[in-house]
Amino acid sequence: MADGPTTRLTCQDVIGLLVDYLEATLTEETVSAFERHLEICPPCVAYLRTYRKTRELASAAARAEMPDEVKARLRELLLEQLARKGGGRQRGRSREERTS
Amino acid sequence: MNPTDADVAERLQDVELIDRLRAGEVAALDSLMARYSSRVYRLARGITRSDADAEEVVQDVFFTLVRKHDTFEGRAAVGSWIYRITTNTALNKRRGKRFEAEIGLEELLPAFKADGHRAGDPSFLLADWSQSPEQDLLSTESRRLLSETIDALPDHYRAVLVLRDVEGLSNEEVAEVLGETIASVKSKLHRARMALRERLTRHFGPNC
């Protein structure tokens, strides 16, 4: 794909540039050519919109929060490790221990 | 404070916490846990797609921190180091296990004619479900579909997707974590997103 003021992009070019377009890393000339293509190509407009929405939905779907009980089990195991490693419990106390 | 100053400050705090952990201070462990355990779990869960495996990964990562922190020399940002060992441990967990067949990505990528225009049914090519009501986009069925498709992505594609789109790392950071080129990261990210988009478009259909 030649990059210049009269560059004409195909649908294949536009879809191939989506990551860079959404990250705003394209040159001004390529952005102009990209947006000129969108003006005349409703399927690519639909693709861009649904691609952007997919990113948003996938981000939410793949996000998992750590359950409190997992956190508590982890802390207990690590305290044991620290104690085994050299008396970690004696050298410092946690915030909860200090305030209890 | 600009982002660079913030990064430097965070790195110094991390190095100090590691030093205090080296001295056996429990409060340093609590601070490191508060800072990183949720991120480690989220990333591990995102890659392994299993609560039990994610818990094992988070334990392995923090055990490494406690047992081998004396080998950590503070040269790399603690955050990057933790992302790297979490990703590697999570990918190792997946290795050697039998999972449902991975999806054939090629079938979910857009097809093109010789002149570079999209090929396919025009009504499908014009399908734009992005403005559909939230209750449809977030319905149990569409969330299940999305979750199943993410599960079925090849492991490294899913790792890139989680690191980029959930954890918000840059392409450069993801490349460093995975030991891949930036071009490879961008390609995997794009193909993973396109595969998910295709599944959702088939689900919502042309009459959305």
Nearest CA in chain A to B34: A71
Q: Is the pLDDT of residue A87 over 90?
A: no
- B200-204 long-range contacts, Cβ below 8 Å, gap at least 24? B200/A50, B200/A54, B200/A57, B200/B129, B200/B142, B200/B145, B200/B146, B201/A50, B201/B124, B201/B127, B201/B129, B203/B141, B203/B142, B203/B145, B204/B127, B204/B129, B204/B132, B204/B136, B204/B142
* B100 within some domain: no
Instruction: Summarize pLDDT for A44-82 with one digit per residue, the tens.
Output: 999 999 999 999 999 988 888 899 999 999 999 999 888
pLDDT along chain B (208 residues), means of 10: 60 78 85 93 94 95 78 65 93 76 82 93 92 89 91 93 94 94 97 96 80
Of B62, B94, B126, the one marking the end of a domain is: B94
Mutate to test the interface with A, among B43, B67, B118, B201 (most CBs of A within 10 A): B118
Mutate to test the interface with B, among A47, A56, A65, A90 (most CBs of B within 10 A): A47
Residue B128 touches chain A, beta carbons under 8 Å: yes
* B99 within some domain: no
Residue B35 touches chain A, beta carbons under 8 Å: no
Q: Give the E-state strand segments of B44-124 in sequence order.
A: none
pLDDT for B76 equals 60
B125 with B87, same domain: the answer is: no
- Angle separating helix axes B26-48 and B3-22, nearest 10 degrees: 110
Residue B166 touches chain A, beta carbons under 8 Å: yes
- Angle separating helix axes B26-48 and A68-86, nearest 10 degrees: 130
B55 with B119, same domain: the answer is: no
Give pTM, 2 decimals: 0.84
B160 with B84, same domain: the answer is: no
pLDDT for B102 equals 67
Number of domains in chain B: 2
- Residue B196 CA to residue B190 CA, distance in Å, equals 10
B60 with B79, same domain: the answer is: yes
B110 with B197, same domain: the answer is: yes
Residues 58-117 of B with CB under 8 A from A: 58-59, 62-63, 66-67, 110, 112, 115-117
B128 with B84, same domain: the answer is: no
CATH number of domain containing B142: 1.10.10.10
Run of H or E residues at A90: helix A88-91
Of B48, B74, B94, the one marking the end of a domain is: B94
- Residue B117 CA to residue B83 CA, distance in Å, equals 40
* B40 within some domain: yes
Asked whether the beta carbons of residue B26 and residue A12 sit closer than 8 angstroms, the reply is no
Of A12, A46, A63, the CB nearest to B128: A46
Instruction: Summarize pLDDT for B185-205 with one digit per residue, the tens.
Output: 999 999 999 999 999 999 997
Nearest to A13 by CA among A35, A40, A34: A34
Residues whose CB is less than 8 angstroms from the CB of residue A56 and which lie 6 or more positions away in sequence, other chains included: none
B87 with B27, same domain: the answer is: yes
B42 with B61, same domain: the answer is: yes
B159 with B125, same domain: the answer is: yes
* B41 within some domain: yes
B63 with B140, same domain: the answer is: no
* B138 within some domain: yes
How many Å lie between the alpha carbon of B75 and the closest alpha carbon of chain A?
A: 23
Q: Is the pLDDT of residue A10 over 80?
A: yes
Asked whether the beta carbons of residue B196 and residue A85 sit closer than 8 angstroms, the reply is no
B117 with B199, same domain: the answer is: yes
Residues 145-164 of B with CB under 8 A from A: 146-147, 150, 158, 161-162
CATH number of domain containing B70: 1.10.1740.10
Its domain, for residue B172, covers: 105-204
Per-residue confidence band for A23, with pLDDT thresholds at 50, 70 and 90: very high
B72 with B115, same domain: the answer is: no
Query: And the tokens for A79?
Result: 């305290």
pLDDT for A100 equals 39
Residues 11-30 of B with CB under 8 A from A: 20, 23-30
Q: Which residues pair with B112 in a beta bridge?
A: B118
User: What is the average per-residue pLDDT within A31-51?
Assistant: 97
Of B65, B94, B123, the one marking the end of a domain is: B94
* B176 within some domain: yes
Q: Is the pLDDT of residue A5 over 60?
A: no
- Residue B205 CA to residue B164 CA, distance in Å, equals 27
